[in-house]
Amino acid sequence: MKNVIKNIVLDAAGLAFKKGLLTSSVIPDMEIEAPRHENHGDFSTNFAMVSASVQKMAPRKIAEALLSSIEDPERIIERAEIAGPGFINFFLAPKAWYPFIKIIHQQDEEFGKSDIGQGKKVQVEFVSANPTGPLHIGHGRGAAVGDAVGNILAFSGFDVQKEYYINDSGRQIRTLGRSVWLRICQLIGRESEFPEDCYQGDYIRDIAKELNQLMGSEYLALTCKSQDKQTDVGQLNKTDLEPTVKMGEYLLGKPEAEAVDICAKYAADKILQGIKDDLVDFGVEFDRWFSEQSLYDSGRVQDAITEFQSKGVIYEKDGALWFKTESFGDEKDRVVVRNNGLTTYFASDIAYHTEKFNRGFDRVIDVWGADHHGYINRINASIEASGRKREQFNVILVQLVNLLRGGQPVAMSTRSGEFVTLKEIVDEVGKDAARFIFLSRSYDSGLDFDLEVAKQQTSENPVYYVQYVHARIAGIVTKAFEQGILSDPADISTVSNSLQTLQLLVEPEELKLIKILASFPEVVEKSAFVLHPHIIFTYLMSLASAFHGYYNRHKVINEHQELTLARLCLVSSVKKVIYNALKLLGVSAPERM
């Protein structure tokens, strides 16, 4: 509807110029927005004010010229008025809104979909937690945000690929292997100190116990399941590993570096599989899992460094290689290869982001924790140095989650390995509640997640508040079918074609509902444009609130057959839009609760 009003304004401006009421045919960018207050109309435009400098006229005079030139053959504008310094407020006739019910029923699960993306390829990379421990609640928020952003962009016509970057190379993997190896040493009675920089969680002990007890044949069988480790399996088969020897005993007879390497590979695979399982349970599935180690194995890290050296943006100093990130807006230059020959994380990140664009993506979106804010400029530098535009790369920074139980903070300590995992959250409150609450606030704000609230079956729990609307409407339709009002629930779509029947929807609460429903496509487009899925959450809460207000005042099934049919069409439209919106957020829409 916003576009309809915009076209009416543009046509009126063109006609006013032809009539000599306006001095210029130039039309600056204008806004068509829904006013905050309902008594200011359905839509408002600042056309007159943004045109003042072009027209060389007072805004109110421009507004008067525009209003006198409006042509509205369908008579969807009930009245229009000038407000304040020159705003034009439009009040639409009820008949302007009824066709949206028909459109919703016709388009069904496609309602709200658009082609604004024009098929452009977009990659959304998110979570990407190191395979050194299970996912925690912070990862959960990032997963919910990244997945929803991908869904919304795909619904808006972009060709989206969701990707997880596996940090399976470098110091943190070596530390993981060392942590497991030291725990195995403790299990078999070898005195060993466990340093603070090792991973402290109980999950390390569990992995160590499991690996220690595995027979050689069992270890090989498990390793063979990892598609990325075929080379390692082939090497292991040629060693002195006996099928009937326990791995703990086998590792004791190996040099420590080799034992640590085997522990690292086993633990990383084990943890990564747990991450994959937890994400599936959370409703998140990736199109691709990308290994950091593959960048080194394929030589792409060295290729990227060589390419940037040839461009003069990587230089040598004090035996190390430095990237001229300061020249691209960073606070200082950054090391990519240390003077001991080891690469930094920045080196593999340069190669990875270069590889992303080489795959043909028009736009790359990374979802990071807020603590990575300082990393944005150096990646921007690598993007620009590779010949791409900075606008092709976006970073979503997700703020921390404060976990509460009944309003009281839940104690967590990363250093001691005491933290609440995503799996524990999902097991306690469910996937839907977790995802919905994670998306209840803008990701650039902190979030309080109360476990007790998430489990309530009351209006205090936002996911219950919205899902209950969907279930209640499903119950209403079933009741109408059981009472013979409908011979088949699908009859509602047929009734929605009758504008005469829909015109019985004259109550203010009914018109308010239709207006909210009609705005859904614009809400989705806005969410896709600014990459903020919480906009969909806010919309759903408004729609649910409007429905509850309507349902508490008016009977859907009543003594008037035609009015009952009209109201069934209306509430069924609400049900369809709630389903579509929840699906974008990765939340289910139950028929019963």
User: What pLDDT, on a 0 to 100 scale, did the predictor assign at position 414?
Assistant: 47
Beta strands at 334-337 and 408-409: parallel, antiparallel or unpaired: unpaired
Q: How many CB atoms lie within 10 A of CB 318?
A: 8
- Provide the pLDDT confidence category of residue 487 given band limits of 50, 70 and 90: confident
pLDDT greater than 60 at residue 415: no
Q: In angstroms, rounded to a whole number, what is the distance separating the alpha carbons of residues 423 and 428?
A: 9
Q: What average pLDDT does the segment 174-188 reach?
A: 94
Q: Could you report the per-residue pLDDT of 94-110, keeping only the tens digit for each?
A: 999 999 999 999 999 99
Q: In angstroms, rounded to a whole number, what is the distance separating the alpha carbons of residues 3 and 7?
A: 6
User: What pLDDT, on a 0 to 100 scale, did the predictor assign at position 418?
Assistant: 64
Of the candidates 536, 435, 578, which has an alpha carbon nearest to the alpha carbon of residue 156?
Answer: 536
Q: What average pLDDT does the segment 478-502 reach?
A: 87
pLDDT greater than 80 at residue 417: no
- Provide the pLDDT confidence category of residue 233 given band limits of 50, 70 and 90: very low
Report CA 523 to chain centroid distance, whole Å.
15
Length of the chain: 593
All domains of the chain in start order, with CATH? 2-96 (3.30.1360.70), 99-115+459-584 (1.10.730.10), 121-166+285-398 (3.40.50.620), 171-281 (no CATH)
Poorest-pLDDT segment among 154-163, 249-258, 284-293, 533-542 = 249-258
pLDDT greater than 80 at residue 234: no
pLDDT greater than 80 at residue 489: no
Q: What is the mean pLDDT of the chain?
A: 93
Q: In angstroms, rounded to a whole number, what is the distance separating the alpha carbons of residues 24 and 178?
A: 74
Q: 273 Cβ partners below 8 Å, 6+ apart?
A: none
Report CA 291 to chain centroid distance, whole Å.
22
Q: For residue 24, which amino acid is it?
A: S
Q: Are 192 and 180 in contact (CB under 8 A)?
A: no
Whole-structure pTM value: 0.92
User: What pLDDT, on a 0 to 100 scale, did the predictor assign at position 463?
Assistant: 97
Q: In angstroms, rounded to a whole number, what is the distance separating the alpha carbons of residues 409 and 387?
A: 47
User: What pLDDT, on a 0 to 100 scale, did the predictor assign at position 552?
Assistant: 96
User: What pLDDT, on a 0 to 100 scale, did the predictor assign at position 218?
Assistant: 87
Question: How far, in Å, are 141, 312, 369, 435 from residue 289 at the CA level?
Answer: 19, 32, 19, 22
Q: In angstroms, rounded to a whole number, what is the distance separating the alpha carbons of residues 326 and 343?
A: 19
pLDDT greater than 70 at residue 261: yes
Q: What average pLDDT does the segment 533-562 reach?
A: 97
Q: Could you report the per-residue pLDDT of 431-446, keeping only the tens digit for each?
A: 999 999 999 999 999 9
Beta bridge partners of 89: 44, 81
Is residue 208 classed as helix, strand or coil in its secondary structure?
A: helix
User: What pLDDT, on a 0 to 100 scale, did the predictor assign at position 413?
Assistant: 54
Percentage of the chain surpassing pLDDT 90? 85
Of the candidates 531, 120, 126, which has an alpha carbon nearest to the alpha carbon of residue 290?
Answer: 126
- Provide the pLDDT confidence category of residue 226 given band limits of 50, 70 and 90: low
DSSP conformation class of 239: S
Q: What average pLDDT does the segment 464-478 reach?
A: 97
Q: How many CB atoms lie within 10 A of CB 464?
A: 21
User: What pLDDT, on a 0 to 100 scale, did the predictor assign at position 490?
Assistant: 74
User: What pLDDT, on a 0 to 100 scale, did the predictor assign at position 242?
Assistant: 83
Of the candidates 314, 298, 285, which has an alpha carbon nearest to the alpha carbon of residue 355?
Answer: 298
